Amino acid sequence: MNFIKNIFENTKPYVQKGAKFHWLHSVHDGFFTLFFVQKNTSKSGTHIHDYIDLKRTMGLVVLALVPALLFGMYNTGYQHYKAIGELASTGFFQLFLFGLLKVLPIVVVSYGVGLGIEFVFAQIRGHEIQEGFLVSGMLIPLVMPIETPLWMIAVATAFAVIIGKEVFGGTGMNIWNPALVARAFLFFAYPAQMSGIKVWVASGSQATDAITCATPLGDAASGSITYTAADAFFGLIPGSIGETSTLALLIGAVILIITGIGSWRIMLSTIAGGAVMGLILNFFAGSPALSEANQVFFGIPFWHHLILGGFMFGAIFMATDPVSAAQTVKGKWIYGFLIGIIAVLIRVINPAYPEGMMLAILLMNTFAPLIDHYVVGAHIKRRLKRATVKGQTA
Amino acid sequence: MSEPLFSKKNLKLLSDPLNSSNPITVQVLGICSALAVTAQLKPAVVMSISVMAVLAFANVIISLLRNTVPNRIRIIVQLVVIASLVILVDQVLKAYVYDVSKQLSVFVGLIITNCIIMGRLEAFALGNKPWQSFLDGIGNGAGYAVILIIVGFFRELLGSGSIFGFKLIPESWYITNGGFYANNGMMILPPMALITVGIIIWVQRSRNRKLIED
């Protein structure tokens, strides 16, 4: 550790005020705090000093994402060799290695572009580098279909960081979850690649570069059930890189809840909302007014909605983003519940959008401040009433 | 009356709306049509010219009438003037550029309700002489046109891969033809027009710091 510390100590004179490389000082600070805790203390106001600063918080979220990431790599290889029919003759590590080589460039591009823009903005605006992108940079690859061209990911990441975050003033000021902004951008800009009906399954050196393969969700929307619940739960289905395995995501959820970083209220209420909406749709499944395909989709067991597509990923990692989610306790329940309801509603009712989780979370992100406003307002009103009643009796 | 036609003050009427008092980015007027007609460059240009013509002549006419119109009915008089001019423009478009006129559809008619025109009549023409009003109309029309053309340029280039309908991106680049490129479908949608206008405002204000409000 002393070796690293020496590097920072030795380079410090160069980035001090007035020195040649002063414009790099926030980069210096950024890397310093990555390794060590700042010695400086605040000079005014009340502050809570805690070892768990933003960087460590973000680090823990990334840690919670690792199971989903690793499984995503494995599943990429699995889907590939399944698509070309050589699954039985391929070993576990070969599957994993194939996925690793496919996923790694996406992660690198996402971090490279995003952090690059963050660094530039930090220098221009003269503030510290904000660590918010550490998580977004990992979330973005995980919500992408595996064969999304790298330049599209770069464009989407740049859009998300600049328009989704920096415009509002950087980390902590954004209205929407930046990773979802990236995905929404791709979804509307390049619908052919992102519609959610089909994803590209990597196929390497075959005659075609990529085999498109319908996701189970897309199949279900057109009235055929092509998955088993077990596969959907463990994640051996086609889908975006990190969203398929409910099990891996639940491991992440446990980490987030134990460390107190993710709100269990939002996760729980989102799941409840999805389940309730699934039950309501089940109730209407037999209706003759529906087309045959719709009858099938309405009728799938309500808990299947929770393990298919991006529902769990959204509920655990996207909806709980502390910046864009509702802040009040009651608000969190309402916020999560509505996300669940709207996600399943869009998924089943709207034929244009087979996956509704992204749109549901973005919509509720927009409404989160409003929900908080009314929750706080109602609270104040209730307290006020109590106070005046007492005043009258006394 | 001794003031020359293109005195410094009069030229300022022309140049100010291009930057520091731009009708779209600073006065924030006429946003609706700026979002609606800029998916391609050609309708954007035609729309700009139409608005410029209507604005300049409406300004002149109202300026001529400014001392005779009773204050209480001035809005309705302004509307009559604008509406007649818009109908004229609409007929001309239909006669000479029918396809673009079809593309612009209701938005030519909606020039009547374009806030820039009412805004300039109220704020300028009612209190200034015809020549100055004419310059103000041309200037504000040009300010509107500049933004429309910038937005239209980027939206058509990135959204359709062309400029004025000429394909700039080679066909072989597209994914469907085995390439790597795809047009950005979001550029065609109005939200992206709003974001583009927002970026222009951002760029303008970081260059011209006087415009930044507290």
Q: Quick one: pLDDT at residue A39? A: 62
The secondary structure of B141-182 as a DSSP string is HHHHHHHHHHHHHHHHHHHHSEETTEE-S-GGGBGGGTSSB-
Question: Is residue B13 a part of any domain in this protein?
Answer: no
- Let me know: does B54 contact B86? Beta carbons within 8 Å: yes
Q: Which pair of structure tokens corresponds to residue A71?
A: 């499984």
- Let me know: does A323 contact A210? Beta carbons within 8 Å: no
Chains A and B: how many Cβ contacts under 8 Å?
Answer: 23
pLDDT tens by residue, A105-162: 999 999 999 988 888 888 787 777 777 788 888 899 888 887 778 888 999 999 999 9
Q: Quick one: pLDDT at residue A38? A: 62
Q: Quick one: pLDDT at residue A392? A: 59
Residue A3: count of CB within 10 angstroms of its CB: 6
Question: Is residue B214 a part of any domain in this protein?
Answer: no
Cβ-defined contact of A151 to B180 (cutoff 8 Å): yes
Distance CA B150, CA A189 (A): 20
Structural domains counted in chain B: 1
Question: Is residue B15 a part of any domain in this protein?
Answer: no
Q: Which of residues 136-195 of B touch A (CB under 8 A)?
A: 175, 180, 182, 184-187, 189, 195
3-state helix, strand, coil in chain B (%, to 5): 75, 5, 25
Cβ-defined contact of A185 to B185 (cutoff 8 Å): no
Distance CA B184, CA B175 (A): 12
Q: Quick one: pLDDT at residue A221? A: 67
pLDDT tens by residue, A40-93: 666 666 666 666 677 778 888 888 999 999 998 888 888 878 777 777 777 788
pLDDT tens by residue, A229-240: 787 788 888 778
Q: Does B75 touch chain A (CB under 8 A)?
A: no
Q: Which residue segment(s) compose the domain that B168 sits in?
A: 23-208
Question: Is residue B73 a part of any domain in this protein?
Answer: yes
Per-residue pLDDT of chain B (214 residues; tens, 9 = 90+): 566 777 878 888 888 888 788 888 888 888 888 888 888 888 889 889 999 999 999 999 999 998 898 889 988 999 999 999 999 999 999 999 888 888 887 888 888 888 888 888 888 888 888 898 999 999 999 999 999 999 999 998 888 888 887 887 777 777 666 667 778 888 888 888 899 998 998 888 888 877 777 6
Cβ-defined contact of A152 to B182 (cutoff 8 Å): yes
**Predicted model pTM:** 0.82
Question: Is residue B58 a part of any domain in this protein?
Answer: yes
Q: For strands A198-202 and B166-167, give the pairing.
A: unpaired
Question: Is residue B213 a part of any domain in this protein?
Answer: no
Question: Is residue B16 a part of any domain in this protein?
Answer: no
Nearest CA in chain B to A194: B185
pLDDT tens by residue, A289-306: 777 777 777 778 888 888
